[in-house]
Amino acid sequence: MLENRDLLGDPIPENHGKRGRPAHIPTEENRNKIRLLLALDWKDRQIAQALRITATTMRKHYFVELRQRDEALPALKASRLFGLWKAAIGGNVGAMKELGKIIDAHDLKALAADVREPAKPKRKLGKKEQQIEDAGSVTGKFAPPPAPMRMQ
């Protein structure tokens, strides 16, 4: 069944042209717009203005999407990565390169976090703790023999 749409592509409500304000019809496209704008930290009022509805109407029809505000950005990033991965698996060289860049940037970020981690100051040990630690690191004539070499 073809749905009537206005010049902007929005569905035309059943009571269009009749008395009273036409009811808002939530669409999957509007749901996706809200998810995207939430991921970009838009305020509810701004999102409602972009959809040309009131904030109250938006909260009434799209409350599920609005509750997922914290998960919107990770979900957007994940879907982007998944799309890149699918394209790369399909043989798209540009997607392979872009995915490689993202993976390399992630690896560098993880490495930088490891390097930035300051060395924790060693806690001063008591006499007994120091003796136990020293006993584990015996060198010289009293050191335990090294493990035997493996045969390959």
Q: Is 6 left (phi over 0), alpha (psi -120 to 50) or beta?
A: beta
Average of per-residue pLDDT across 60-80: 92
Ordered by start, the domain boundaries in the chain are 1-67, 71-116
Q: How would residue 141 be classed by pLDDT, with cut points 50, 70 and 90?
A: confident
Higher pLDDT pick, 117 / 82: 82
Average of per-residue pLDDT across 118-125: 76
End-to-end alpha-carbon separation of the chain, Å?
72
Of 29-43, 100-114, 133-147, the one with minimum mean pLDDT is 133-147
Assigned fold of 1-67: Arc Repressor Mutant, subunit A (1.10.10)
Average of per-residue pLDDT across 2-21: 75
